[in-house]
Amino acid sequence: MERFDIAVIGSGPGGMSAAAHAAELGLSHVLLEGSPKHSNTIQKYQKGKHVMATPTKLPLRSPLDFAEGTREYILDKWEEGMTSTNTNIQYGSEVTGIDGAKGDFTITLANGSKVGAKSIILGIGVQGNPRKLPCPGAELEHVQYQLDDPDEYNGERIAIVGAGDAAIENAVGLAGQNKVCIINRRDEFARAKQGNLDLITSSISDGKIECFYEANPARIEENPSDESRYVFVLSTPTGEVPVPIDRIIARLGAIPPRKLVESFGIEFPNDSPAALPELSSQYESNVPGMYVIGALGGYPLIKQAMNQGYEVVEYIQGNDIEPADHPLFVEAFDGLPYDKSVDEILEYLQNSSPIYNGINPLNFREFILDSKVSKRAPGDELCVNGEFTNSFFVVIDGNAFVKLPGVGEFHFNRGDFFGEQSLISGRRRTATVYAGDDCVVVETPRRSMVKLINSVDSVKRVLDEAFILRALHSKFTPNTAHAELAEVVANTELRTFDANQDIYTEGEEGDEVHLIRIGSVTSVKQSNNKEVITSYMPVGHYFGETGVLGHGVRTDTVRANVRTETICLSKDSFVTLMDKEPGLQNEIQSHIRDRLTVEARMEAQPKGGELMSFLMGEGLGEGTDVLLIDETLCVGCDNCEKACAETHDGNSRLNREAGASFADVHVPISCRHCEHPHCMKDCPPDAIHRASDGEVFIDQEACIGCGNCVRNCPYDVISLQKNPAPKPTLLHWLMTGKGPGPGGKEYADGETIKKAVKCDACKDNAGGAACVRACPTGAAMRLNPKEFVDLVGSRFGS
């Protein structure tokens, strides 16, 4: 067994940088890479992809070069860098196990060989390894787990195994010039996006692709006759079927690396898929001598990974160097009233609030870098009632306060926090908070908070408690002191419902009251054996109160439109609240009266209920600002698309004609500005934000064009686009006819950078949505789902 001082596992930007630095220092080292080439994640980017070097302000610290450029250029540079530093890389060395302890680790590779090391640096990223075919022959030469360019294959017999989006896209991409079959374990394609589902079912029914349903790979054999390369034997309900085949592409998803990492002894704080391993400020895991860098440690950008590779080698050598982001902190802390070093301030911040207790110092560093620490002048508005911002605040020094009518000012002091309502509900701010005397606050963007909530259990608990207390207080008992509500809060329960799940049904007994804190619901009634939707309720609304005030039998069915969470109050708790607040009873009665009138109106229009169901079915229930087109007015002039393109760098962010219609209401493809935007889920540079009026937008400077949001948006509203060249003015075009006219575009030569573009609800335009204002016939309108009831009324009302 060969032994090294440092073994680096995974040759992504992080691992490569570490190994190259070790080589540069002349240390005994090895870089173990599972695939046949270095940086597998980057190799898999689309050909010619422009790779960004964000964050721009962060200096690079690595023996390898890295600056913005094409994928090919960057990969070449790294290759050169590894050669010139004499980096000892071993390809095809997938690591499957690690035993031993600091100073004497034994690494096991997939081929059974072993490597010894004193320290280990793990940089295996988060992409995971593709799931292999579970049958003999899975390692044959023409069995592959990825498809770069479908055009490379011609006139072959190809089997695609899998039923997800990747399998379908590959199958359809290859079917034009090859004979393709797709092997599906089930009897339908349940996991695919709607568009792909349509594609594959029509390709199958047209005979372009053959499909084997309920078929499992049994084995792959070399074909003794020359007719095809292999015989792919499938086991089906009717017995084994041999299929002559030249190439097999299995798209069975990736195995997340977590299990493997845990088998090395590294611990994660909880089961959440977003949880990150615990690391020291020197990237050391709970296993001494085993270090974690790059995406696996929660740093999703190339430059960060490369810097960490460099730093971790220094730390292993015992050099306590300052991390590369040090200057960023110096800048960020400038202007704070503390005479302390960066590390001291960080410690001071972390000790300020119990919320920060459970975070490890390394993550806290990143957390603060993402946040904004500032001293605010007394009277400054920190967050404003009615705005859609969703950052989270912790008071470090001095205080901040809200003005509560009836109760007076409520103060937040050192360690207190606010902003959890909008963070959790995805809705407007429910109060304006002002800076008090000597106020220093940390303001953290949504993504970092979500990360924190997912990795530190105690944070979630503390936030939920505060959320419930404050929500009940502002909704039901604004004149009662917080302390008096403690008992009620302790007796509430948070309930979670999946999309389309009934929260309760008409006729059943029940007397609990629900206050919606995430998602939205519709209330449904049976009328002439048909379901009629009678109302739509978003976050902040409550339902079930008729159960408490009436005879305890539900008079309607309430159903979650999207994943929904409610604060559930027992009858007793609700009665307690009513006792505390004398006006509440009246208010609730008028609330019931209002609801009943709306319900009666909707019940009289069963067609309206169908329209409502259609709108909910299109996923509009989770939107906050939805573009709808009245087909009886639209003349198809496409001035809406032209207006959008003209006001947004030439790329229209809406597709008028695509999308579904019902009862003359058309839902074009355009962003709905979801309460909990799916697109934000996995954006490496955190480039997607929510503006104060709720507009979800992409910061074009920060976007690296990775396409994650394109995949994550269920409504297909994001696309990767090049930036068109500047255009002549309207007058110039009118006079000379040169250049593209309104709505048209041309690209500059050599323009290759693609970035994600989507509707930003024209947040920068004082007049609002350009598409709506440019429609000559009034057919285009942007609505909040709350207005759907009016829409239905205006369509079907008498």
Q: For residue 151, what are its two tokens?
A: 């055009």
- In angstroms, the CA 35 to CA 40 distance is 7
**DSSP state, 356?**
G
CB of 712 to ligand SF4, least distance (A): 7
- In angstroms, the CA 509 to CA 524 distance is 16
Q: Is 685 in the site for ligand SF4 (CB under 6 A)?
A: yes
Q: Is 637 in the site for ligand HEM (CB under 6 A)?
A: yes
| Nearest CB to ligand SF4, comparing residues 89 and 423 | 423
Q: Is 637 in the site for other proteins (CB under 8 A)?
A: yes
CB of 702 to other proteins, least distance (A): 24
Binding to ligand SF4 by CB under 6 A, coded x per residue (else -) over 632-651, reads -----------xx---x---
Q: Is 779 in the site for ligand SF4 (CB under 6 A)?
A: no
Closest C-alpha to 41, from 76, 83, 13 = 13
Residue 323's binding partner among other proteins, ligand SF4, ligand FAD, none (Cβ under 5 to 8 angstroms by kind) is none
Residue from 742, 746, 747, 748 binding other proteins (CB under 8 A): 742
HSE (side-chain half, CA atoms, 13 Å) at 650: 17
Residue from 703, 775, 779, 792 binding ligand SF4 (CB under 6 A): 703
Residue 539's binding partner among ligand SF4, ligand FAD, ligand HEM, none (Cβ under 5 to 8 angstroms by kind) is none
DSSP notation for 654-694 = -BSSSS-EETTEE--B-----SS-GGGGG-TT--EEE-TTS
**Among 241-249, 541-549, 707-715, 768-776, which window interacts with other proteins (CB under 8 A)?**
768-776
Count the helices and strands in the chain (H runs, E runs).
23, 43
CB of 652 to other proteins, least distance (A): 11
Q: Is 197 in the site for ligand HEM (CB under 6 A)?
A: no
Backbone angles phi, psi at 278, to 5 degrees: -75, 130
- In angstroms, the CA 657 to CA 667 distance is 9
Q: For residue 65, what are its two tokens?
A: 């070069």
Residue from 67, 255, 490, 730 binding other proteins (CB under 8 A): 730
* Residues of span 711-740 touching ligand SF4 by CB under 6 A: 713, 715, 717-718
Beta-bridge mates of residue 157: 179
Closest C-alpha to 310, from 23, 76, 677, 551 = 23
Q: Please, are residues 514 and 470 in contact by the beta-carbon 8 Å criterion?
A: no
Residue from 634, 688, 775, 791 binding ligand SF4 (CB under 6 A): 688
- In angstroms, the CA 441 to CA 418 distance is 10
Residue from 179, 375, 681, 773 binding other proteins (CB under 8 A): 773
Q: Is 776 in the site for ligand HEM (CB under 6 A)?
A: yes
The binding site for ligand FAD (CB under 6 A) comprises: 9-15, 32-35, 39-42, 45, 51-52, 54, 94-95, 123-125, 127, 129, 294-296, 300-303, 305, 684, 704, 706-707
- State which amino acid sits at residue 676: H
Sheet holding 521-527, edge to edge: 502-504, 557-560, 521-527, 530-537
Q: For residue 486, what are its two tokens?
A: 């403690």
HEC string for 75-128: HHHHHHHHHHHCCCEECCCCEEEEEEECCEEEEEECCCCEEEEEEEEECCCCCC
CB of 657 to other proteins, least distance (A): 5
Query: Whose structure tokens read 């390894």?
Result: 129
CB of 695 to other proteins, least distance (A): 17
| Nearest CB to other proteins, comparing residues 88 and 655 | 655
Residue 707's binding partner among other proteins, ligand HEM, ligand FAD, none (Cβ under 5 to 8 angstroms by kind) is ligand FAD
| Nearest CB to ligand SF4, comparing residues 177 and 765 | 765
User: Which residues, other chains included, contact 573 with Cβ-Cβ below 8 Å and sequence gap of 6+?
Assistant: 488, 491, 492
Query: Whose structure tokens read 């001598």?
Result: 289
Q: Is 770 in the site for other proteins (CB under 8 A)?
A: yes
The footprint of other proteins (CB under 8 A) covers 202, 206-207, 630-637, 639, 642-643, 646-647, 657-658, 660-662, 664, 730, 742, 765-767, 770, 772-779, 781, 787, 790-791, 793-795
The footprint of ligand SF4 (CB under 6 A) covers 643-644, 648, 653-654, 670-674, 677-679, 683-685, 687-688, 696, 698, 703-709, 713, 715, 717-718, 756, 758-762, 769-771
